[in-house]
Amino acid sequence: MSRYAVISTHPDILQRFQAAATGVLAGEVHAWQGASFPAEPQEVLAQLTHPVFLDVLVLGPGVPLERALHLATAFEVQRPEVAVLLVAPPTPDVVLAAMRAGIRDVVEPDADPDAISVLLHRAVRSAAIRRRSLDTGGETGTGGTTGRVIAVISPKGGAGKTTIASSLAIGLASSAPHGTVLVDLDLQFGDVASALAISPEHSVSDAVHGPARRDTMVLKSFLSAHPTGLYALCAPSSPDTAEQVTADDVTHLLEQLASQYRYVVVDTAPGLSDHTLAALDKASDFVFVTGTDVPSVRGMRKELDILSELGMYPLKRHLVLNAADARGGVSRQDVEAALGVEVDVIIPASRAVRLATNQGIPLTQRTGRDRASKAMRALVARFTAPAASTPSTRKGTARHRVGAP
């Protein structure tokens, strides 16, 4: 049985939460009885019959926003297992402030019991996960093993980077079901959600702030599940949100995911932004993606040179020649001569690739035997073959040259 506490000056919100807390959500719904709003968790808990087992705290409407955020922050520090909901108009400023205070969800003031029930399900689940995590002494990792972080990068947009990243992640998930996660770090215009045909509830910007930043069990609840057993953390729906994510946020996020998953595939933004450089610093593998046109090859040459100047050398390098077409006038040998490194995988121009992109079904999820699908499976095999199956435990200074195989 779940237990809820509601602090509000509006009696109808209490009635709506009582109507929502039925069935599997049934439990005690306690209304705040104090003459003034509480400032500390102890004041709230002192009114409860069983304070140890409070699951969800509801703040507002009628509670001044500043007081609500202060109390939510205090609960996040002192009683992190309690999920806090804020009833307020979900403006961008309110949502951002709530997220930073550790609030689980912002509820529309006029939400009906059905809508509230959906949010209560998430809140109760979050409370259970966090309580279980605390009972077992904190985060439950993978025995100290660090997963393999694979950064898929390209200097220019339109190279097929997202198509390759999503196909690679699906292929890895087939060998490590529920052990692979795909992160969309193209925070302004990322297309991972479209490539996988999913509608995520949460994004990278949600996952790097609030309770998910401090608790990997909560972070897992922010991931979107794909039917193949892959998990995805997609880009924000609004390009403006990218400004709320720092390079340090990216570093911490990848460390969290690598502690929980065997493979972490990162679809980076074109170029070398701070977010991309932070991802490369944590990556054990770089998957370079280039086309067979002259501008793409020149851009890749510049990117390789810059990474070399920065001293960013991965343990493993994989160069993918995408949408290769011998009729274009630039051959594999031309690309290798211009870049000074060998091409590892050639993905030919193919109708199957266009279908995969437009239908949201990555190549490695399809059953086709076309040359592009076979090439993608060859790329996956570079990570799943016996010699490559052990996740690397690398330090940032122990890297080989970019041109190393």
**What is the predicted pLDDT for the residue at 14?**
92
91 and 15 housed in the same domain: yes
Question: At residue 86, does pLDDT exceed 90?
Answer: yes
Residue 312 pLDDT: 81
Tell me: pLDDT of 109 over 60: yes
Looking at the structure, do residues 205 and 286 belong to the same domain, yes or no? yes
Structurally, the chain folds into a number of domains equal to 2
Please tell me the least confidently modeled range out of 10-14, 37-41, 255-259, 372-376: 372-376
158 and 110: one domain? Answer: no
Alpha-carbon gap, residue 92 to 73, rounded angstroms: 19
* Residue 310 sits in the same domain as residue 202: yes
In this structure, the answer to whether residues 222 and 281 fall within a common structural domain is yes
The single-letter code of the amino acid at 268 is T
**CATH code at 117?**
3.40.50.2300
- 3 state DSSP class of 211: helix
154 with 119, same domain: the answer is no
Confidence band of 142 (pLDDT split at 50, 70, 90): very low
**Cα–Cα separations (whole angstroms), residue 162 to 154, 186, 243, 249, 288:** 10, 9, 21, 22, 12
> Is the per-residue pLDDT at 233 higher than 70?
yes
Please give the Cα distance from 51 to 234 (Å, whole number): 37
pLDDT band per the 50, 70, 90 thresholds, residue 369: confident
User: For residue range 182-206, what is the model confidence (pLDDT) as tens digits?
Assistant: 999 999 989 899 999 998 989 999 8
Distance (Å, whole) CA 324 – CA 345:
10
Same domain (yes/no): 128, 152: no
CA 112 to chain CA mean position, Å: 30
Residue 14 lies in a domain: yes
Amino acid at site 278: A
Give the model's confidence band at 391: pLDDT under 50 very low, under 70 low, under 90 confident, else very high. Answer: very low
Same domain, 206 and 306: yes
pLDDT tens readout for residues 242-270? 888 999 999 999 999 998 899 999 999 99
State how far the alpha carbon of 299 is from the alpha carbons of 255, 266, 288, in Å: 29, 20, 11
Look up residue 248 and give its two tokens: 């340090």
Residue 405: its pLDDT value, please? 33
Task: For residue range 23-50, list pLDDT tens digits in order.
Answer: 878 888 999 988 899 999 999 998 886 6
| Cβ proximity of 113 and 20 under 8 Å | yes
Sign of CA dihedral 361, 367, 369, 373: positive
Please check whether residue 123 lies inside any domain of the structure: yes
Q: What type of residue sits at position 272?
A: L
**Across 310-333, average pLDDT:** 81
Which structural domain, as residue segments, surrounds residue 195?
148-388
Q: Which amino acid is at 267?
A: D
Give the pLDDT mean for 324-343.
83
Q: What are phi and psi of 21, to 5 degrees?
A: -85, 65
Structure tokens at 52: 């140890």
d(CA 328, CA 272): 27
Give domain status of residue 30, yes or no.
yes
Residue 287: which pLDDT band, with cuts at 50, 70 and 90?
Answer: very high
Domain shared by 34 and 161, yes or no: no
Say whether both 125 and 165 belong to one domain. Answer: no
pLDDT above 80 (res 315): no
Q: Is the pLDDT of residue 145 over 60?
A: no
User: Alpha-carbon Rg of the chain, whole angstroms?
Assistant: 24
- Are 103 and 167 members of one domain? no
CATH of the domain at 232: 3.40.50.300
Q: Pick the residue with more confidence: 52 or 215?
A: 215
Question: Are residue 160 and residue 129 in the same domain, yes or no?
Answer: no
